[in-house]
Amino acid sequence: MLDELIGTDRLHEACGVFGIYGHANAANVVYYGLHSLQHRGQESAGIVAADHGRFNVHKGMGLVTEVFINGNGELSGDVAIGHVMYANQKSTVIEAQPLVFKYRGGTIALAQNGALINAPMIRRRLEQQGSIFQTNSDTEVIAHLIARSRYDDLELALQEALAEIKGAYALLVLGEDRLIACLDPNGLRPLALGRIGDSYCFASETCAFDLIGADFLRHVQPGEMIVISQNRIRSVQVAEEKPALCSFEFIYFARPDSNLTGTMSVHQIRKQLGKQLAAEKPVEADLVLGVPDSSLSAASGYGEALGIPFEMGLVKNRYVGRTFIRPNRETRTRDVKLKLSVVQKVVEGKDVVMVDDSLIRGTTSQRIVRLLRDAGVKSVHVRICSPPVVYPCFYGIDISSRDELIVAQKTIEQIRMFISADSLEFLSVDGLVRAITGGPDLSSGGSGLCLACFSGKYPVPIDQQS
Ligand code: AMP
Ligand code: SF4
């Protein structure tokens, strides 16, 4: 099973979804919503709007601005869903979501954020029974299950499909006359419910509501299905809720102005992470730097807690694409310089703390330490605002193979030497939970967080095949 999940050519998707029901310019609202979710995926973007049973589709590879070159308002319909994709395998426009299907119940469109651990097994079974798949996407597996259901009614067919799939999914389903949102029983990925005027909307993150002027109502609950039709909203608890929201959403993935828990913004929680790390692993230094953008909040918290000035010593070139690219050895130094530069006058001759949100392969820290040394720092202490990542993620975040995880291969001292830092320290798992939840034991089942990539305790056991 593990082998089946690791190193396959399946797409591991951690994406953004947005949907709205009952709005005269539904596609246009989705277009703006997707802009706010662009950080969740830059591979492809798409919108599907339903206009009295007719589905209008536009999608393509690239950023929202690249796919919708003339802006958007062209797709008629008062209900629409959209998707931005982050795939760690090369995807093509065929995989770009939302995916649209015709089956005996009519036309449906699906947009999903997550990864299903039993999708390969279900797919193989369906293929043996004669199904033909068009894409590598887990989302298509859900569509096949809906189409094969014994129920004609979309809601019941969807519930039957959900009972079979396992893993992480924040799923939007657009039917001819309704919009349905579903979250997996662990609520591994975030999904929020909002309202603009008389229209209900859903978004992966609340920052999308702020842009379109919608009010945030609440988070969709783990195991919940929300159905909006004829301007009525209904909630059905389709599975027992066992909350385990991905802690990496707080550490790295979500936008700082989003709200994932209902109390604090992601920025405030990241600041807490920095303060907690300062309490656990203090160091004497002249200044604290954060790796832009995802570590700035945590770095400011670290500095504030220790009374060390938080300075802008690293500047990011905003026009260079994604970070997680895997450049070859020859282009490595140039690529990091292309992306980040050091403000030499700030760091020269100083004892510096460099705070990053996470360390996966160690390459980012290694390259930044080198840049800082080239700029003449006296010493550089690396502080990582998350615990060591020892286990792969099977729920959609691109941490896919143990071979690539430096902590699974080397001791902390060996990593310190590899990145040439004067010291290297990580946040503890307890500290992470405390900073996010305000206490170690918030919900009945534990922290309410998924911590599997740090602890190896997977909320959905990875040997669950059916
Ligand atoms: P690495 O260079 O492999 O150690 O990766 C760590 C860096 O990648 C950190 O600076 C993070 O901000 C960033 N990062 C962490 N998780 C992810 C992810 N899933 N996708 C893209 N970048 C990430
Ligand atoms: Fe998030 Fe890690 Fe859990 Fe994956 S294993 S869902 S990255 S906390």
**Domain edges within the chain:** 2-246, 264-439
Lowest-confidence segment of 9-23, 207-221, 256-270, 409-423 by average pLDDT: 9-23
> What mean pLDDT comes out for the span 165-177?
96
Check residue 462 and give its pLDDT: 84
Q: Model confidence over 286-313: pLDDT tens digits?
A: 999 999 989 999 999 999 999 999 999 9
Check residue 154 and give its pLDDT: 96
- Give the Å distance between the CA of 399 and the centre of ligand 2: 8
Domain 2-246 CATH class label: alpha beta
Q: How far apart are CA 142 and CA 164, in angstroms?
A: 9
- Give the Å distance between the CA of 392 and the centre of ligand 2: 8
Strand partners, 452: none
Q: Is 245 in the pocket of ligand 2 (CB under 6 A)?
A: no
Q: Is the pLDDT of residue 442 over 50?
A: no
Query: If you ran DSSP here, which 8-state letter would residue 37 be given?
Result: T
Strand extents, DSSP E, 222-361? 224-229, 232-237, 245-246, 287-290, 314-316, 340-342, 351-356
DSSP per position, 408-451 = HHS-HHHHHHHHT-SEEEE--HHHHHHHHHSSS--BTTBSSEE-
Joined together, the tokens standing for residue 412 give: 């902390």
Shortest-distance atom of ligand 1 to CA 248: 16
- Give the Å distance between the CA of 322 and the centre of ligand 1: 10
> What mean pLDDT comes out for the span 154-175?
97
Q: Is the pLDDT of residue 11 over 50?
A: no
Q: 264-439 has which CATH code?
A: 3.40.50.2020
- Give the Å distance between the CA of 253 and the centre of ligand 2: 11
Q: How confident is the model at residue 440 (pLDDT cuts 50, 70, 90)?
A: low
**Closest Cα to atom 21 of ligand 1:** 324
Spatial contact of 54 and 75, defined as CB atoms under 8 Å apart: no
Spatial contact of 382 and 362, defined as CB atoms under 8 Å apart: no
Check residue 464 and give its pLDDT: 57
Q: Model confidence over 115-162: pLDDT tens digits?
A: 999 999 999 999 999 999 999 999 999 999 999 999 999 999 999 999
Phi, psi of 408 (to 5 degrees): -80, -15
Q: How far apart are CA 158 and CA 295, in angstroms?
A: 39
Spell out which residues line ligand 1, taking CB within 6 angstroms: 252, 291, 294, 323-324, 356-364, 397-398
Q: Is the pLDDT of residue 231 over 90?
A: no
Check residue 73 and give its pLDDT: 54
The pTM assigned to this predicted structure is 0.93
Closest-CA residue to 119 (of 135, 130, 103): 135
Q: Is 452 in the pocket of ligand 2 (CB under 6 A)?
A: yes
Q: Is the pLDDT of residue 7 over 60?
A: no
Q: Is 14 in the pocket of ligand 2 (CB under 6 A)?
A: no
Residue tagged active-site, from 15, 207, 393, 453: 15
Burial label for 124, CB within 10 Å (0-12, 13-18, 19+), is: exposed
Helix (H, G, I), strand (E, B) or coil at 412: helix
